[in-house]
Structure 1
Amino acid sequence: MDQDLNVVRGDSPDWRPPNKLLGQYLLSRLKLHGDRIIQAYPQYNETVTAAVVAERAVRYAATLQSLGVGCGDRVVVCCGIHPHYSSLLLGTICCGAACATLNNKFDSGDLRRLMEIIQPKVVFSMSDAVPQLQPALSQLATIPKLIVLDDEDTWKWFINNKIAYHEPQGIDPYTNVAAIMCSSGTSGLPKAVQITQANLFTSLMAFKHKDAYVQADDIVVITSPLFWVTALLYSLASMDHGVLLVLEFGASEEHVLGVIQQQKATVLFTASNFALSIAKQPSLNSYDFSRLRIVIATGTAMAMDTQILVENFFGASVVQLYGMTEILIATGMTRKGQRILGSVGLLVPTMKLKIVDPNTGISQGCGKVGELLFKGPQVSPGYLNNPEATAATFDAEGWVHSGDIGYADSDGNIFVTGRIKDIMKYRGHHVSPIELESILLSHPEVLEAAVIGVPHPTDVEHPRAYVVLKPGASVTADSLAELVASQVAEHKWLHGGVCFVNSLPKSPTGKIIRSELRYLTES
């Protein structure tokens, strides 16, 4: 902690930027790995070697160039997990273009808005997304080439095209956008986050840090969808470091555990809520995950008790990462292999953190709670074709306002305590839902829980819990309210009560959608 500036700093980098563009750098790394299997796709019963990824990428880059794709252009990939994704991604980067990975479950309205922003030259999709895509594409001034991955005619033409690849010239890795990912930012409609070659390279180098969690000989099962930035980064990391990446998204808890057992995985990278969902079902511990040494959880901060619960189930250490599409992975380091329960870890090298009072903007000292602001070479240059949203999230000094609340201890360990918009107010007190949810989840009959503030005429808000119980549970709402009251101060009690529901509304990445719970409350 820099006591003068109240800025927390990651380690100084122990690497130098390569004298190559990102595409050429990754092709050289893939050549080094050769016939090593770096990716597995259980859904397709297919594995891919480094050599195959490289050969496909060069071939696809050449075909994209024949379609007029070059420096500054954009290519959309809108599909679920697919064995050719990494080669399409790298091929696009090798053209000097940006690969925009979109959620194939977006409705036609979201797709139309994003296509108008991105203005792609080529779109890759599966046939199930075409009905939503076509109306969006038809509204563009220049209609892009649509290539359907499971359409034999168009896909065979694309992959079998015999055209020479020409390495583009004059590309600046610090300004050239290599990837575009969707984000709602701190609020609002989906936005197109620009990620440069330099952003990605800096993040990749963090994987090589001596204290990085994932090593080259690991087998990593990742449940992130392709449109999540962690899938982008781990796909690139598998090319760079030779890590075997097993991609699996949208499957049940049982299926994922079966994949861990079959692949003899050593690392599980997953959403915090998904890891907890597994750990709350003891019947699932019949699977063999004895080789699993670490569970990396992200998406939502885990409280200490929840982290211990997940650790006890897997018999493996649980570490938390913090990131946003706008800043990539910001935390996830430890010192001497130690992790602090409830913390999302230390900053990655080159990243800076400032914690400010969300009302005054004044920076806070060690241990004081405020909004987390990030700055560093991993930070996006902003949202594509959206200067207003960019100005609202990226300030004039280059700090990204995360919208998350937290603090750092004297050793630089970072703790996330909630979202600004999720913090409840009760008679002048601020109440974080994470603490209350952790207490509820400690009950053996509670499967899931979410706490929101219910408007009150005199107290501002009353905390209310929405709880999903395990089958056959007998616990009452009053008992759960008493459990919370026994462990927290009176202003944190569940004055709004406890409501039992069959399920909690979630985003495709597993995050609880609290706005829908608020709508349920209002209706």
Structure 2
Amino acid sequence: CVLPLFHIYGLVVVLNMGLHLGTTIVIMPRFDLEQFLELIQKYRVTLSHIVPPIVLKLAKDPLVDNYDLSSLKMIFSGAAPLGADLSQACMKRIGCGIRQGYGMTETSPVTHSSPADPAEMRHGSVGTAAPNTEVKVVDPATEVELGANQEGEICVRGPQVMKGYLNNMEATARTVDADNWLHTGDIGYADEAGHFFIVDRVKELIKYKGFQVAPAELEAVLLTHPAIADAAVIPSRDEEAGEVPKAFVVIRHETTGEEIMSFVAARVAPHKRIREVEFITQIPKSLSGKILRRVLIEQERARQKAAQVV
């Protein structure tokens, strides 16, 4: 277990489930790739609950080739979106399956998970709704329920949904409506078979000339570039467009910003193109593996403000 046990994912899905099943749990005090690989090899770990940044390392880091990971039967990824291309690349390299799950602290945490049968999985999908769980996708502005393959805010209702935030009725009312639907704040859609796909957070969508652009979608494309080890996309203020997508990338070997922008442009709609690239040494992330876009946004706004002063 590389997940913090004070986080709902590590606490419920790993610790409590492990105790319930009577399984051995190998716990790491903090994530270190080499130690992680050593422990899998030493203890013949069969199931690993991780987050997308670790999936990325398993798919691309050369250290992986030095260890015997043949005991791994399944990887379970959660806490942030995992793109189909990255998922398949990791599966091919490691030789095991990857399932995804979705949920939040307010839902204890699981509302969706990939089917156990590999034949029923959809790469890039967080799976179908958990038992006794209702899910709908609504227009964030009008709250009108949408149909299959239409992007909107995911709302869930079920026995795992919280009663409310302690001593904060106002915050509870903003999150759980009068009909007990919890509004997740995540944008996604379901296909005709009821498999759900998470696109991004409502509040993190980039507003480019009236179009909504999901940073996570662009990050998934960037991670397919052979020179890119990690990436994050944020909105950068622009006088003409309002906001434009800007990419921060960590590279494995030399490339240029122009080449990266051309690579992405060939794979997305014109309004989703990345307009600026900045090279950095590390993408800021939380303990649960989520990209801390606010850190990059604050840095970007400070840079723009300083440029205006000059």
Structure-1 residue corresponding to 2:100: 320
Asked if 1 retains the 8 angstrom alpha-carbon contact of 2:246 and 2:277, the reply is yes
Superposition pairs of residues 215-364 of structure 1, within 5 angstroms: 222-233=1-12, 234-327=14-107, 328-334=109-115, 336-337=117-118, 338-364=120-146
Displacement after TM superposition at 1:371 (Å):
0.3
Superposition pairs of residues 105-116 of structure 1, within 5 angstroms: none
C-alpha distance in 1, partners of 2:287/2:217?
24
- After superposition, the C-alpha distances for 1:37-96 in whole angstroms (9 at most, x for unaligned) are xxxxxxxxxxxxxxxxxxxxxxxxxxxxxxxxxxxxxxxxxxxxxxxxxxxxxxxxxxxx
TM-score by length of 2: 0.93
C-alpha distance in 2, partners of 1:371/1:249?
36
Asked if 2 retains the 8 angstrom alpha-carbon contact of 1:285 and 1:313, the reply is no
Displacement after TM superposition at 1:231 (Å):
1.9
Structure-1 residue corresponding to 2:306: none
Displacement after TM superposition at 1:510 (Å):
1.6
Letter in 2 for 1:298: G
- After superposition, the C-alpha distances for 1:159-197 in whole angstroms (9 at most, x for unaligned) are xxxxxxxxxxxxxxxxxxxxxxxxxxxxxxxxxxxxxxx
Letter in 1 for 2:299: L
Structure-2 residue corresponding to 1:454: 236
Letter in 2 for 1:520: Q
**What SS does structure 1 have at the residue aligned with 2:98?**
strand
Asked if 1 retains the 8 angstrom alpha-carbon contact of 2:3 and 2:287, the reply is no
Asked if 2 retains the 8 angstrom alpha-carbon contact of 1:372 and 1:406, the reply is yes
**What SS does structure 2 have at the residue aligned with 1:425?**
strand
Displacement after TM superposition at 1:335 (Å):
6.5
C-alpha distance in 2, partners of 1:307/1:416?
14
The alignment yields a C-alpha RMSD, in angstroms, of 1.3
2:258 to 478, 499, 513: 478
Question: How many pairs were matched up?
Answer: 299
**What SS does structure 2 have at the residue aligned with 1:340?**
coil
**What SS does structure 1 have at the residue aligned with 2:299?**
helix
- After superposition, the C-alpha distances for 1:315-347 in whole angstroms (9 at most, x for unaligned) are 111111101000111111417443111100111
C-alpha distance in 2, partners of 1:462/1:380?
36
C-alpha distance in 2, partners of 1:466/1:319?
28
1:507 to 280, 286, 299: 286
C-alpha distance in 1, partners of 2:295/2:150?
31
Asked if 2 retains the 8 angstrom alpha-carbon contact of 1:354 and 1:372, the reply is yes
Change (3 A) 1:437 1:331: same
Letter in 1 for 2:222: L
**What SS does structure 1 have at the residue aligned with 2:186?**
strand
Letter in 2 for 1:454: S
Structure-2 residue corresponding to 1:490: 270
Structure-1 residue corresponding to 2:202: 420
Structure-1 residue corresponding to 2:308: none
Same amino acid, percent of matched pairs: 36
Superposition pairs of residues 47-446 of structure 1, within 5 angstroms: 222-233=1-12, 234-327=14-107, 328-334=109-115, 336-337=117-118, 338-446=120-228
TM-score by length of 1: 0.56
Structure-2 residue corresponding to 1:149: none
Deviates further, 245-254 or 510-519: 245-254
Displacement after TM superposition at 1:448 (Å):
0.6
Letter in 2 for 1:332: S
C-alpha distance in 2, partners of 1:333/1:349?
12
Displacement after TM superposition at 1:283 (Å):
2.9
Letter in 1 for 2:80: T
- After superposition, the C-alpha distances for 1:201-254 in whole angstroms (9 at most, x for unaligned) are xxxxxxxxxxxxxxxxxxxxx221011112221222222222222222412111
Letter in 1 for 2:187: I
**What SS does structure 1 have at the residue aligned with 2:172?**
helix
